Each structure stands twice: as C-alpha cells, then as structure tokens.
Amino acid sequence: MMNNNEQVSPSTKDNSVVDDKKNVQEKEKENNNETKNNNNNSGTESNNNNNNNNNNNNNNNNNNTATPPAADGSTTPKKLTLKTSMNEIKLSTVDRVVPSVKYPRAEPLAHDVLFNADKTINLPKLQEHFFNEGRLTHDDVIEIVKMTAEILEKEPTLLCIDAPITVCGDTHGQFYDLIKIFENDIGGNPANTNYLFLGDYVDRGYFSMEVILYLYCCKINYPNTFFLLRGNHECRHLTEYFTFKEECLHKYSEEIYDFITESFNALPLAALMNGKFLCIHGGLSPDIKTLDDIANIDRFKEPPSSGPMCDLLWADPMEEFSPDIREHFVPNDIRGCSYLFSYRAVCSFLQKNKLLSVIRAHEAQNAGYKMHLQNDATGFPSVITLFSAPNYLDAYNNKGAVLRYENNIMNIRQFTYSPHPYWLPNFMDVFTWSMPFVSEKVAEMLLVLLNLCNDEEAEKEEKKESSPTEEEKRRQMLRAKVKSVSKMMRMFTLLRQERETIMMIKSFSPSRKIPQGLLTEGKDALKKALGDFAKARKMDMANEKRPPMLDRVNSRGELLRMNSRGELFRINSRGELFRSNSHNELRPSNSPQETIKITECDDKAFKH
C-alpha cells in the first residue's frame, strides 16, 4: 500500500488511468448517467482509492488540478454533479414550492366511508376529512341535508330538553373552533354529551359549509340529544348578503345552497331547558307574553322583518340594563329591526312564566359570555349571553365560551381560537390579490417619467425668455404632479404590504370601502383599527344591521316583494298584486327555584 505522498511510476499511472475509466463506466451504468468522463491528465494519486481518481479526472478536465482529500481526513469525497447547460437543469412539477403548507384533500370522501351501514354518519372520518379541507360529493351533501330536514320538521317550534347539557352560542363558520368545543375538557363528545346550539352557524367565517354539514351530521347521529335552534343568519336574505352563498357556490353549487337555505326553515326557534331556562338566539318580543306564544309561531318560512319570529332572532338587551329604565321595549336602531328589551321586561316575563333566566347568543362578547343584571326575585342573572366564536373574524381577539349545565351547577368554559387554513378574502384568486403590486409598479414608472419631464422642462425653461411668474407656475405644476404620483405610489405600496388588513377593514363596511383618510395615515393606523375588541366591534357595527330586502324577478318576469310580516307578493307587468304561496320564488333566477353555582374555566388549564 502507498500513502498519498509517494510518487508513482509512469506505468503505474497508465494502469491507474485505465482502471479509472473502467470504474467510471461502471458508475455510469449503475446511475444511468450519460455524462462521459475523459481522463486526459495524470497526477499523483493513491492506488487504493478509485473514487478519488474519478473525481480528480473530472476536475482535471476543467482546471488540471488534483482534488485534495476531505477535510476530515477521509478518502471518500462528496459526489459532484456538473451541469454543462441550462437545458440539463430540471425543475420539479410535482413537489410544492412551500412543502410545509399541507395540501388540501383533492378527492371527496367516498360514500361508503362517509355513511355507516345503518345510514348514520362516520363522524371521526368526516371530521378528519373536513379538517384537511376535504369536500363531499354533491349527492352526499343533498342526502345529508334532506335527512336532517326530515328530523327537524318533526320537532316542535319550542323544544323541551333536560340537563345535563352543553349550550353553545354563535359559531359563524369557524369549523376549527367548533372541533375544539367537542373536546372532553370543554364541551364534551357529542356521543355522550347533550348539546344545544343557539344559531348563527354560517356567514362571516370561511368554513360555514363545514360547520353546517358537520352539525347536521351530528343531528342525524344523535337526533334526541343534539339540538339546533335557528339564528338570524339562517335565512336566504342574510346568507346572500354576507359570505355563505358565495362560499357555497365556490365549494359546491347553487342547488346545494337552495337545499340548505330551505332546511333552515325547519329549525326550531326556542328551547325550554329543565323547565327553568328559556334558550333563544336573539331576545324577547312585546308580542310574546307566554311560552305558548312561542310554540304557536309558524316557523316554516323566511323570517319577516317584524313580529314575534323576527324578535326571537334579532332582539337585544338594552345597553343600560337597569331597573331605572321603565320602558319594556324600544326600537332597535343598531339592528334596523326588532327591539331592545329592558331589565323590567325580562323580569316580568320570567315571573309570569316561572323561569330563572333567558340564555341567548347573537352578540359578540370579549370574554365569550356576559352575565347581565341579577334578578332580585331569584338571585340569578336575568339574561346570560353566550358567544362561541373566539377571535371573531380573525380580528376581535375575543374568547369563546360554552355553558355546561349539570346537577344544578353551571360551568361557563372559555376557550381560545384554533389556527385554521388561510383563505384570501372573499375567496379571491391570486391574480386579483396581486393587482396592488402591479399598480405600485405602474405608479413607480409614472413617477420616474414625471421626474424626467421635470428635469427636461426645467432646462428648457432656463433657455426661454419668460417672466419669473410664469416659470414658477410651470415648476409648481410639475412639482404638484410629482407629489401626487409619489403619494399614489406610497398608497399602492401600503395596499400591497397591508392587503390582508385592508380587506378585513373593508369587510366591516357595508359599502366595502376603507374609511376616508385611513389609508393615507399609514400602516400603523390600519393596525390600530383592528387592535382590540372594542375597536373591531365598532368598525363592524354596520354589519349588525339587517340588510335591506331586495326586490327580485321570478322566471315569469314578475316582481317579488316581501312585506314586514314575511308575506310574499307577486307584481306582474300590469301592476296587479298577487299573494305568493311559496317562498321558493325568492330564489334568484340564476318547577321550584334552585341555587345554581357558576364557575369559570379557561382552556389553558386543560391538557390537550
């Protein structure tokens, strides 16, 4: 054996080169590499390491220098791959550019996987599929909605349910937070826990389809222990105005949207829990004196803009919830319909119907819940408001909460939001999203051109004989143009950098416009606008109002209009008025009182 410092005779060199060529050819066959190695140079190398010789010969073709041994003393060098032209560089068309972002499920869940043999739903598989952004087939969605509607239609308008039970407020399309509710440490598994949801399952969030379908599947599996009430967003009017219809068309079809909105009409309006608590979405009504008044409401219709059904879905407690307010009901200007009810109105209703409290949803709460003023007669909060959508709209930074009632004890359990996949605002595509970047570059070019014009015209003006006043005017005009384009470029830069924040602020405005002057104040002002719960809620207040009812035209060219009582009329081309019997026409052409202990639990204390 020779060491690396010993010299080799010419004959040994020639033999080594021959051996090297054979080894190179063998390597080429093994790796299917068509690169040809021409060993034209000789050098001082060890005979005990053919791999070193191969690499040295390759390097000699380029710079006629020998490759030294590795720094760690090993005689096995790293494999080198030489690219002789750009044509040999191959880019993968299969691997994702950002592999850390999980790819959504491409195929819908198979029918035999979704449905069990007894026609119940495989909830674990469905949850896992939805969690990975998977979808269902068109026929399976229709079947789920039809099965749920058949169950809901058989239920009374006023449900009577018993404890133990978990009561949940608004979820608003936040599927990943809904899954968190079903954890044992918070709400409990629906398989062994009774549930009552108070409405508002859709709109505002980007996973409304997943929320409503998963809740419907829970209803199919547990029809006698899993209950769903109607919220003000469970109607065609609001889902067209907000995000649910757009989401449904993006993920599925208009036919599915029609089926789901029709199923909303079958949702009950209220629930009597343990004979002591009235559970509703919104609030009380001057037209509702007793529980029978609720039970007798015809709920199978699009909610009207006034009346007892509207009030159950839209009413709110007064901001100043005090016995000093003598009026029982005042118009609800914030909502644009229904009423604000007072402390006296609630206490009177509770006393007359021998109830302890009203449990409702409908309003975002910073802590996820609110205990309103205590009823002196019972020592219990007269109204409890629940909100189960943490970090509402990804802007409120609020907690969510659910209420667990068992053995005459109420546990209000708070929880924080869960991370979820990102969607561009309003299901926007990347080309629309990139427009501010293009606009910024165009503004940049304009600025450069104007600066050039400014310099050239300044030189020309110096040569011309003109009065100082005229010359100064021209210069001022050019300066104004440059300043305008500079300001425009800064605004487009801000639009590009803070696109997501701006789209969030736009979603708070009914006109979908940024408040005047906010953009020119810079990114700090945009961040402050969404900085805390109070500011976000103030900006979003316009979306709390009931949208105006839009007239529609049916397939016969007749104008469709709904009155304040929810009655639908047709107006033909001659101005004749007819009452319509079907809301399908609205579819567009295309016991003794007890002491109850209330405790609070934060999910941070739980082990997940």
- Within 10 angstroms of residue 220's Cβ, the number of other Cβ atoms is 20
**Residue type, position 68, single letter:** P
Q: What angle do CA 133, 136, 142 make, to 5 degrees?
A: 140
Question: How far is 501 from 366, CA to CA, in rounded Å?
Answer: 21
Told to judge if 233 belongs to the known catalytic residues of this protein, a careful annotator would answer: yes
Q: What one-character DSSP code corresponds to residue 252? A: S
3-state secondary structure of 137: coil
> What ranges in 196-333 are assigned the alpha helix state H?
208-221, 236-241, 244-251, 254-264, 291-295, 308-314
Is the Cβ–Cβ distance between 157 and 295 less than 8 Å? yes
Among residues 532, 574, 543, the alpha carbon closest in space to that of 556 is found at 574
Among residues 574, 583, 426, the alpha carbon closest in space to that of 499 is found at 426
Question: How far is 501 from 552, CA to CA, in rounded Å?
Answer: 34
Question: How far is 245 from 251, CA to CA, in rounded Å?
Answer: 10
The kind and range of the H/E element at 228 are strand 226-228
Contacts of range 259-263, beta carbons closer than 8 Å, 24 or more positions apart: 259/141, 259/142, 259/145, 259/146, 260/145, 260/212, 261/235, 261/236, 262/149, 262/584, 263/145, 263/148, 263/149, 263/152, 263/216
Q: What one-character DSSP code corresponds to residue 296? A: T
HEC string of 151-170 equals HHHCCCCEEEECCCEEEECE
Among residues 213, 207, 205, 211, the alpha carbon closest in space to that of 138 is found at 213
Q: What one-character DSSP code corresponds to residue 544? A: G
Contacts of range 434-443, beta carbons closer than 8 Å, 24 or more positions apart: 436/492, 436/495, 436/496, 436/499, 437/496, 439/492, 439/495, 440/489, 440/492, 440/493, 440/495, 440/496, 443/485, 443/488, 443/489, 443/492
Instruction: For residue 196, give Cα distances in angstroms to 169, 518, 591.
Output: 9, 42, 21
The kind and range of the H/E element at 414 are strand 409-415
Question: How far is 587 from 577, CA to CA, in rounded Å?
Answer: 19
Question: How far is 109 from 116, CA to CA, in rounded Å?
Answer: 13
Question: How far is 109 from 137, CA to CA, in rounded Å?
Answer: 7
Is the Cβ–Cβ distance between 204 and 173 less than 8 Å? yes
Q: Which of 111, 138, 172, 233 is catalytic?
A: 233
Provide CB contacts within 8 A for 571, sequence distance 6+. Answer: 558, 559, 560, 561, 577, 578
Report residue 410: phi and psi, to 5°: -105, 120
Q: Encoding tokens for residue 469?
A: 């006043």
Is the Cβ–Cβ distance between 566 and 301 less than 8 Å? yes
Biggest CA–CA distance in the chain, Å, is 116
Q: What one-character DSSP code corresponds to residue 343? A: H
Positions marked active-site: 233
